[in-house]
Amino acid sequence: MQLYNKLSAKERAELIDQAGKNRLTLSFYQYAKIGNPQVFRDHLFITWNALDVLGRIYVAHEGINAQLSLPADRFNEFKEHLDSIDFLKGVRLNIAIEQDNKSFLKLKIKVRDKIVADGLNDETFDVTNKGIHLAAEQFNNLIEDEKTILVDMRNHYESEIGHFKNAITPDVDTFRDSLDIIEEDLKDHKEDKNLVMYCTGGIRCEKASAYFKHKGFKNVYQLEGGIVEYTRQVKEKNLENKFLGQNFVFDDRRAERISDDVIAQCHQCGAPFDVHTNCANDACHLLFIQCDKCKEEMNNCCSTNCKEIHALPYEEQKALRKGQGNSNDIFKKGRADHLPYKKDLRNIFETLKVNKQ
């Protein structure tokens, strides 16, 4: 019985091309009590592998967080399977704004301590006492209220290429980093302001809204379904789109274009640009923003040093990496000192000023 992926990304890409079928990229999450995450995980893998599902799925005692793709003509079978699971029946599925048949090339279902790394002790507060969910039209109206503080719950490399206008964008590397910063800098406004939050698909706000209510914030709201669902409703109902730029996504697409605004810049030359790339040096793979001109000049590398290493024969590159693990700088997402136009560090909450880009 197969319980793990056995094909390489290259082999899977070839099979997708041979199949010639359109695939559907989607995501969903659900907090629920799962008694045995490993058994549940294996059940999902057996069923979904047979449906040709690919993606990255986390299962924990607290629920499931899934980002995946599947053949469009097997969607109904997939939905029927979800509906056969009590806590997933009728779960909201966030369909990707932009589709790509190769958004995922492997099926990875992992058992984790949590479905989102929030660093919180869930025993210390009521995780079910969440903020008020807002549909797109309600959200648009509330964020225009002068008593509203709009906060982006994503990391800096996500908000750098796209965010809601007038949103506070925490300059952090992880979701956990933002929680204490927001509480501290907004502590004087726990009762007199509306705290409105948003993220990619809604999952981070589910936990954050309960946490901030526990910390004494009286008026807590969250964008239902996140940026993905907001965009769908804006198009369906012909609403004003208040999101600028691209929505960062955690698959091979890297981003979905929401508006024509380009609010970021190339980290190497400063030209307006908002497409992330990974440094081609296998010992680096830093995720950063690089325009087409710099990509050609730097051979898709983030520095001269990486460019020189990348030009070496493969065996020499491999020898240089021997005995060395990947640096944590890989996860700094554009903070590297050798990038002159990286996002500047700043006190994002100073006098409650907001990003006007």
Catalytic (active site) residue 266: no
Eight-state DSSP code of residue 280? S
Q: Which residues contact 77 (CB under 8 A, 6 or more apart)?
A: 51
Residue 156: half-sphere exposure toward Cβ, Cα within 13 Å: 21
Residue that the structure tokens 């560090």 belong to: 345
Q: Which residues contact 281 (CB under 8 A, 6 or more apart)?
A: 301, 302, 306, 307, 309, 310, 317
Continuous segment of H or E residues that includes residue 17: helix 9-19
d(CA 73, CA 60): 29
DSSP per residue, 55-93? EEEEEETTEEEEEEEEEGGGHHHHHHHHHTSGGGTT---
Query: Can you read off the two tokens belonging to residue 113?
Result: 């301590």
Q: Which residues contact 299 (CB under 8 A, 6 or more apart)?
A: 280, 307, 310, 311
Q: Which residues contact 320 (CB under 8 A, 6 or more apart)?
A: 283, 309, 312
**Active-site option among 199, 279, 291, 294:** 199
Q: Which sequence positions are flagged as catalytic?
A: 199
